[in-house]
Amino acid sequence: MKFFGNAEQTATRIIRAFQSPELLPKALAPLFIQRNDDCPCRKWSWSNQLLVALSGTSDARGIRQWNAVDRRVNAGCKALYILAPITIKKRAENDADEAYVTIGFKTVPVFRFEDTHGAPLASGSDENKAFVDSLPLLDVARAWGISVDCFNGQHGGALGRFSYGGFTGTQSIALGVRNLSTWAHEMIHAADHRLVDLSRQSKLDKEIVAELGGATLLQCLGLDTDADLGGAYEYCKAYADAEKKQLLSVCSGLLDRVCNAVSLILETSEKTHAGAAQLCEVA
């Protein structure tokens, strides 16, 4: 594969820079995304909100909740299942007061807004939509049929997530922060999956490729600060240390895979823009 945007030279330069981590710049702390509209799912746990975002929607509710706003679930649509706690009232020893205690969890079916019909909903803030629409290389995600959405990320354990299975049969990216390094990381996962079967790859290899590839991609775009080389080093080293492996050796061994993923994204973007230009000429 042709390496677009000097991917190979850039990735090699980053690997060499990892030899002096104390000199690597770090980007500003990520800004957590908050969604404060009246949608019921904003009050769900972060993991359930993440499931909603990965399902390719900004709004999911149970049948009764949809009916309450004069919308009906389309016939034949498959539910998305979230987890809800099972609680009981329990009185502690030597305590007269009762409190609710979680004893387990159950699955609850909910449905996406896109799988319903009926009365229009009141429009919420367009701030998060504007953020998504401004992302560099969003055209590549859309060309690959990948849905992109946000979730409340502050209280969760993931800043972003790429789903290659997809709850609706399509791939998706969910972002919990306004941070280009997180976006680039998830896009590299998406590109890597188009070249290798991620379900057969080790966690170490997948995460090193995504983090090193994301930093390489942003530097190829001239977004050096957003590339967050200091953060990339810390992220990659944590995974390598957990496997008791040498970071530079692991990165070097995955260099071709990193460059192939970066090049695929840049090549797809180039083709997408060329196709759009041709349509404009025809028009």
Q: How far apart are CA 216 and CA 83, in angstroms?
A: 37
* pLDDT for position 166: 67
Provide the pLDDT confidence category of residue 282 given band limits of 50, 70 and 90.
Answer: very low
Residue range 191-201, pLDDT digits in tens: 999 999 998 99
- Identity (one letter) of the amino acid at 168? T
Q: What is the mean pLDDT of residues 27-46?
A: 84
Q: Which residues contact 116 (CB under 8 A, 6 or more apart)?
A: 66, 71, 72, 73, 74
- Identity (one letter) of the amino acid at 31? L
- Identity (one letter) of the amino acid at 105? F
* pLDDT for position 88: 86
Q: Comparing C-alpha atoms, which of 77, 165, 164, 147 is closest to residue 113?
A: 77
CB 154 within 8 A of CB 34: yes
**Does 157 score more than 90 pLDDT?**
no
**Does 178 score more than 80 pLDDT?**
yes
The continuous run of DSSP H or E covering 72 comes out as: strand 71-73
* pLDDT for position 128: 84
CB 215 within 8 A of CB 70: no
The per-residue pLDDT of the chain, averaged, comes to 88
**Does 2 score more than 60 pLDDT?**
no
- According to DSSP, the β-strands at 172-175 and 147-150 are parallel
* pLDDT for position 181: 96
* pLDDT for position 276: 56
Which of 101 and 12 is assigned the larger pLDDT?
12
Q: How far apart are CA 35 and CA 68, in angstroms?
A: 21
* pLDDT for position 38: 79
Q: How far apart are CA 279 and CA 110, in angstroms?
A: 40
* pLDDT for position 194: 96
**Does 52 score more than 70 pLDDT?**
yes
**Does 279 score more than 60 pLDDT?**
no
Residue range 85-136, pLDDT digits in tens: 888 887 766 666 777 788 888 999 999 999 999 999 876 556 888 899 999 9
**Does 3 score more than 60 pLDDT?**
no
Which of 90 and 267 is assigned the larger pLDDT?
267
Provide the pLDDT confidence category of residue 46 given band limits of 50, 70 and 90.
Answer: confident
Q: How far apart are CA 12 and CA 7, in angstroms?
A: 8
**Does 254 score more than 80 pLDDT?**
yes
Q: Comparing C-alpha atoms, which of 182, 223, 255 is closest to residue 15?
A: 255
**Does 1 score more than 60 pLDDT?**
no
Task: Look up tokens 């080790």; give the residue.
Answer: 202
Q: What is the mean pLDDT of residues 237-258?
A: 96
3-state DSSP percent of the chain in helix, strand and coil, to 5: 50, 20, 30
The two three-digit tokens of residue 139, written as one number: 């055209």
- Identity (one letter) of the amino acid at 213? G
* pLDDT for position 126: 67
3-state secondary structure of 94: coil
Q: How far apart are CA 163 and CA 174, in angstroms?
A: 8
* pLDDT for position 189: 98
